[in-house]
Amino acid sequence: MRETGRTLVITRHYEKARQRLSPNYHAEIDDKLLLFRRDPLHNSLRFHQLDFLPYKHWWSYSVTMDIRVIVADQQDSWVVCYVNHHDKAYEWARRRRFTADMTSGSYLMAPPPEEVIDPTPAPTEAQVVYRAPFSGYTPDDLMKLGVADRDWAEFLARATEEQLERTLLQAMDEDWFPEDVIERLMHLRDGTQSYRELIPPQVSVLMPSELFRRRPRDFWTPESEEAIRKAIQRDWQEWIIFLHPAQREAVERDLRGAIRIGGGAGTGKTVVAAHRTVWLANRYPSERILLTTFTRVLADSLKQRVEQMIGPLHGTPIEVMTLHAVALRVFKQQMQRVEDIISDKDINALLQEAIRRANSGYDLNFVRPEWETIIDAWHVRDRETYLKIERTGRKMPLQPSQRESLWQVFEQVWQLLEERRQTTYSAVCYAVAEYLQQHPEHRYRCVVVDEAQDFGPAELTLIRALAPEDLDNALFLCADSRQRIYRPAVPWLRFGIDTRGRSYTLRVNYRTTRQIQDFAESVLPHAIDGLQEDEARLLADRPIALMHGVAVEARGYENTDAEMRGLKEWIYRCLNENIQPGEIAIFARSDNALKEVEAMLRNEVLRERAIQARKLQRETPPVPYEINYGTAHSAKGLEFRAVAVVRVTSGNFPSYAAIVGVTDPAERQAKEDQERQLLYTVCTRARERLYISWSPTVSRSAFVSAEQIKRSQV
């Protein structure tokens, strides 16, 4: 930068403020940022110190006659912090001071505590024991945790429980402290980790620019104008790949045996999986590394994240694809098998034919779950095995005579598949796993799995076979049992995947607001069956949501027409608040429940706002400039600023199709619990806004309680 010789640093605060402004301003804001990088003393910028403010290190430059950018003078750096209309920008700067701690490597961008803390009377000596959570720590102790300002450290050391709760919430909402500092304070307050465990390494950097480079989650130093041009076309979290310290610890675990990473929605498991893949590729540069997941959309997203870090994967030893694609490639190429995979649409007809051939009295509603959960999932090919097998995942017991008669149906299913030269993905997984046992040269050195909770027995058998059992860092699995929406839980130990003592929990939710997390968690079942010891422990660790937002909207309507009018009004409110079409998604439980949504989007939103809509599929990613809509299952692995879940009725959550014919109480409860997890998964796709609706009013799903509705309307 001419004449100043300083490093330009851009903060996440600035990018968030830019996104909140009307897109009409973005081009001018971006042009002036480029000009500021080239020449901060250019006359058109009117760059000057805000010496009338209490904190003397704030400067400002002009974008238009009205828009101002706030910049902090940090010795060797100009730190671009905020952008807004003139009065709002100056008010933001008036209420904040920027402090960087060169010893702890932390920073603070907050007002003095006396300006924002309620003047609550100081607690008495007796009250301190009960109402001052940090009374046992000195200000120096708290500064070692990253509180980069002595005034704030002194306040926190004496703050009452009420003051501390309000302060941490406001600090999260207004980005006063770094997220990892707030996380440490919460752990210390709640007693989930000891003070000694929470102290970060002391870094002792010499200049602010070095500190900022150590915090890529919060600061970015562009190397060129081209880097800025590319960056400003994307959302912050898309163009900067970052790791929180707790995530980095998970990524860099160096152990023999399978490693499990758990955590609720929004805790960064996918980011960890991508970084782990790059870490492994650097550690074993000549070895094959597989990054795999459940659907192609998720695999494509993972590939994009990895390529953001290391460039195109072509020519590298890293492969990113779905597990079924890996299995099918080996099945067709190495094993020279020619069977076609039977489609989900055709399986019902095949089962019906098998029932007819066996002259069985069972109906499809009973036979299909038994086929999916037991016969196909565990690759049961003979009568003797079926008579003995533990029916993991099915709650309703069967008498030996019932198994005998049912086997006649499943024997016909296998015969029909052979006659038609067809097979299933589960059968392919088992065949490939057996092949790899005999041909270990086709294994990968390391396998990283994202969304591992949705893999069943066949896939887990293949995952274990794809990686060696006797090498360090061979198997790394990311999973959240709260989001298991496809398969019943099965203990991984049964497949030789032992993560005991090597399980790690991500406890901080970076994506969804606290209001959305609270609502989503309230729909979960009280307990989830089939968990192994370490998985059950991980589920008990509730994520800490670091964002505060607006209340969840939950609305009942008298009929479907009224519900669609309410949905359209919500969409328009989002658009009017600068949420772009591609940042909005609408979900319903089934295609049938989406019909009215499709009609409203096509006949009204398109005509009135000229905005297209795109239906999401398991293999179809969202696009930037169209409103997205789809079934609940198509939401898997995606995220949007605003999400609406409609037709949340007693016939959709739980789905009538999922529970029809299920007469056993335990099995019905298991199905309903899985439906609750599906609703949780859909709700947690929202980052900032969540809207829930149903009609008619009396048909509200039991998953949405009156208490939830009451809280949503506060």
Mean pLDDT, the chain, whole residue set: 88
Q: What number does CATH give the domain 550-712?
A: 3.40.50.300
Q: How far apart are CA 349 and CA 370, in angstroms?
A: 16
**Strand boundaries in 264-404, DSSP class E:** 289-293, 318-322, 340-341
Q: How far apart are CA 210 and CA 28, in angstroms?
A: 30
69 forms beta bridges with 61, 83
DSSP-derived 3-state class of residue 80: strand
pLDDT at residue 620 tops 90: no
Residue pair 15/219 in contact (Cβ under 8 Å)? The answer is: no
Residue pair 261/478 in contact (Cβ under 8 Å)? The answer is: yes
* Residue 642 in tokens: 């605003």
Residue pair 67/45 in contact (Cβ under 8 Å)? The answer is: no
Average pLDDT over every residue of 336-352: 93
Please name the residues in contact with 349: beta carbons below 8 A apart, sequence gap of 6 or more: none
* Angle between helix 269-283 and helix 296-310 axes, rounded to 10 deg: 50
DSSP-derived 3-state class of residue 549: coil
Q: How confident is the model at residue 460 (pLDDT cuts 50, 70, 90)?
A: very high
Please name the residues in contact with 432: beta carbons below 8 A apart, sequence gap of 6 or more: 326, 327, 330, 331, 335, 462, 465
* Residue 59 in tokens: 């400067």
> How many CA atoms lie within 13 Å of 171's alpha carbon, on the beta-carbon side?
26
Domain residue extents for the chain: 7-98+222-235, 111-204, 245-334+427-539, 343-419, 550-712
Q: How far apart are CA 390 and CA 397, in angstroms?
A: 10
List b or e across 399-417, with b for residues whose CB sees 16 or more CB atoms inside 10 angstroms.
eeeebeebbbbbbbbbebb
The DSSP bridge pattern shows strands 508-513 and 7-11 to be unpaired
Within 10 angstroms of residue 578's Cβ, the number of other Cβ atoms is: 15
pLDDT in tens, 111-130: 999 887 765 555 555 444 44
pLDDT in the model for residue 239: 45
pLDDT in the model for residue 603: 94
pLDDT in the model for residue 704: 93
Q: How confident is the model at residue 327 (pLDDT cuts 50, 70, 90)?
A: very high
Strands of 67-74's sheet in order across: 48-49, 58-62, 67-74, 77-85, 7-11, 219-220
Q: Do the domains 245-334+427-539 and 550-712 sit in the same CATH topology, yes or no?
A: yes
pLDDT at residue 83 tops 60: yes
pLDDT at residue 706 tops 70: yes
Closest CA to 250 of 511, 448, 539, 506: 506
pLDDT in tens, 217-248: 788 888 777 767 666 655 545 544 567 777 88
Encode 143-211 in three state secondary structure.
HHCCCCCHHHHHHHHHCCHHHHHHHHHHHHHCCCCCHHHHHHHHHHHHCCCCHHHHCCCCCCCCCHHHH
Average pLDDT over every residue of 410-418: 96
pLDDT in the model for residue 340: 95
* Residue 396 in tokens: 């309703």
Write out the H or E segment, with its range, that includes residue 499. none
Domain 245-334+427-539 has CATH 3.40.50.300: yes
pTM over 0.75: yes
pLDDT in tens, 422-431: 999 999 999 9
Closest CA to 392 of 499, 529, 524, 526: 529
* Residue 362 in tokens: 């069972």
Residues of the chain with pLDDT > 90, as a percent, come to: 58
Average pLDDT over every residue of 524-537: 63
CA 526 to chain CA mean position, Å:
22
pLDDT in the model for residue 1: 41
Q: How far apart are CA 640 and CA 685, in angstroms?
A: 6
pLDDT at residue 319 tops 50: yes
| Cα end-to-end distance, the chain, whole Å | 50
Which fold, 7-98+222-235? YaeB-like fold (3.30.2310)
pLDDT in tens, 167-223: 988 888 788 998 889 888 988 998 878 899 888 877 766 788 888 888 887 888 887
Q: How far apart are CA 395 and CA 665, in angstroms?
A: 9
The residue that leads in pLDDT, 444 or 527, is 444
pLDDT in tens, 674-689: 999 999 999 999 999 9
DSSP-derived 3-state class of residue 262: strand
Q: How far apart are CA 85 and CA 67, in angstroms?
A: 4
* Residue 85 in tokens: 């209309």
pLDDT in the model for residue 125: 53
pLDDT in the model for residue 541: 64
Token look-up 């562009």 returns 222
pLDDT in the model for residue 587: 97
DSSP string for 415-445: HHHHHTTEE-HHHHHHHHHHHHHH-GGGS-S
Q: How far apart are CA 273 and CA 306, in angstroms?
A: 9
